A and B are shown apart, each in its own frame.
Chain A
């Protein structure tokens, strides 16, 4: 089973404040730590588990500047066989369509059974690239997948997450593309041996010319006009003081609301 996994590098903003920069079109990047997008990490683990079960290869691919080599090398250290970075000013100034098209051009030149992506990126929250890429590759797709079971190397039985704890279960023929939801497995850490081996694995860097892409095809279809911080209409009445004073007030509040 030959699998492509698309990885995106994102700033980790889950526990930090996010501010808009002076252009008004991007966030302030200083002091932010960059990592593999959370759902993409689960997609990679899904691929590595399938490779362990069925053999084959795992190729990781990302669009970005040299800085994304870090997450690609991490994926190689975890057990991916090959990394590809797509890099070109034409890719970097685009939107989801641009990135999907670049990935399509790179992946379609190879033989594959499965393409995996994360179901959502924590930065833009678009949830677009996976199904877009599937449409370009003209293969079936399933989004927000929480279980993948391969049948006879020709089909996959997948669970898709719907609202309110409901799942859609479907059978899809391969080759196919799935966007993987967080929590599907437990992503591994790279081993010391894995890290050592990573540096000798194939690592390709390709631009639009090398991929033979018509630049007109890469034009963004959407554009961010501006970013701003939402006004938090703090409805909450804030309880202040020392930890002890806060706790006393909270305890009384809880008693008042529900009794003890």
Chain B
């Protein structure tokens, strides 16, 4: 049996164009069926919500069984409440593999849950092979190395990297009409848990009024820019070509640019006509936020930097040497 936790949007976040079920859950369903077909395992979805039916409707054709836990206290994700409930369910079901998204929720929940269950955990996996042992592939060293990791026993738990599998809804090869059996599970909770942890709400990072998602041209900087004093040169260049300045996480952490300039999984996802990546090696978290740009030009001194696997044009060189020359060329071209 393969079990997966369905991750859903808060009711306020769900819109008519997108349902309650997040992409990561549809991606994990694809993976679950890859394994299921090989081993003839049923795919069991776990849904925790204050209102399960709309979620069940979205996924029932893709699951053999859906286990629903419904209660008002499950309106918003909360590790301290989800964990004891999932612990009860998983220790009864004993699925060979339990999958959770490697998301803001999953990274909070999975290591805690795996530990109370005594399960081996492998996080942030992008490829899975299940034979007599579970073997997964995941990145290390910021994507510069791939590791093949095995679980020394089964059952086990994994967290799955977003974007690693096609959504089951978009896969033409999967034509499932399973009409899942839906089971409602009662649960018991130690009431003191509500004293220990309270969900207060969602917030957004403050904005300075610049919306990089609206820009046609983005000039983005990363660690390769080395020092804050090099930023004005790049900013001036961005202005010359009608571009907006953006950046990777380390630039934000250093306090060199405000948070709303960050491109990547914890920042903004952008799709400009032209994206110029300067001194950005291309960690997965950054690439996931810009890979769909129409044209990508990357300048980086490491010829093996992952950014070159998504860039259309590449320059291997020192961004701090090339940029002053390029800025002058642009001025010449503009006359």
Contacts and interface: CB of A to CB of B under 8 A. Distances in A.
Interface of A: 13-15, 17-18, 20, 27, 96-97, 100, 119, 122-132, 134-136, 140-144, 157, 159-173, 182-183, 186, 219-230, 232-240, 243-244, 246-248, 250-255, 257-258, 260
B93 interface: no
Interface of A is mostly: mixed
B60 interface: no
Contacts of A169: 199-203
Given A183-B252, A232-B308, A248-B329, A14 B316 contact: no
B260 to A, nearest CB: 8
B108 interface: yes
Sort A-B residue pairs by CB-CB distance and give the 6 closest, nearest first.
A236-B314, A162-B104, A221-B120, A183-B253, A135-B115, A131-B111
Given A247-B328, A251-B333, A258-B216, 14 more contacts: A14-B281, A132-B115, A161-B104, A168-B203, A172-B197, A221-B121, A222-B149, A222-B152, A225-B150, A226-B147, A230-B139, A238-B313, A251-B329, A260-B330
B322 A232 contact: no
B34 interface: no
A125 B108 contact: no
B55 interface: no
B200 A123 contact: no
B314 to A, nearest CB: 3
A187 to B, nearest CB: 10
A128 to B, nearest CB: 4
Given A157-B200, A260-B334, A222 B115 contact: no
B152 A135 contact: no
A239 B326 CA distance: 13
B312 interface: yes
A117 B299 CA distance: 34
Contacts of B298: 236
B140 A125 contact: yes
Given A222-B150, A234-B309, A246-B317, A27 B141 contact: yes
B326 A13 contact: no
A119 to B, nearest CB: 8
A171 B313 CA distance: 47
B75 to A, nearest CB: 13
A222 B120 contact: yes
Given A161-B266, A250-B329, A14 B223 contact: yes
Given A18-B144, A183-B253, A251-B329, A167 B204 contact: yes
Contacts of B269: 164
B140 to A, nearest CB: 6
Nearest to A135: B115
B200 A170 contact: yes
B103 A17 contact: no
Interface residues of B, number: 102
A221 B151 CA distance: 6
A157 B200 CA distance: 9
Contacts of B135: 225
B58 interface: no
Interface string B96-121: 00000001110111111111100111
A250 B320 CA distance: 15
B33 interface: no
28 contacts: A15-B281, A131-B111, A131-B115, A134-B112, A135-B111, A140-B80, A141-B108, A159-B203, A163-B103, A166-B203, A167-B203, A169-B200, A169-B201, A170-B198, A222-B121, A223-B150, A226-B148, A227-B147, A230-B306, A232-B304, A232-B308, A236-B309, A238-B316, A244-B325, A246-B315, A247-B329, A250-B326, A253-B297
B149 A167 contact: no
Nearest to A11: B141
A166 B309 contact: no
Contacts of A27: 141, 145
A105 to B, nearest CB: 14
A171 B152 contact: no
B145 A225 contact: no
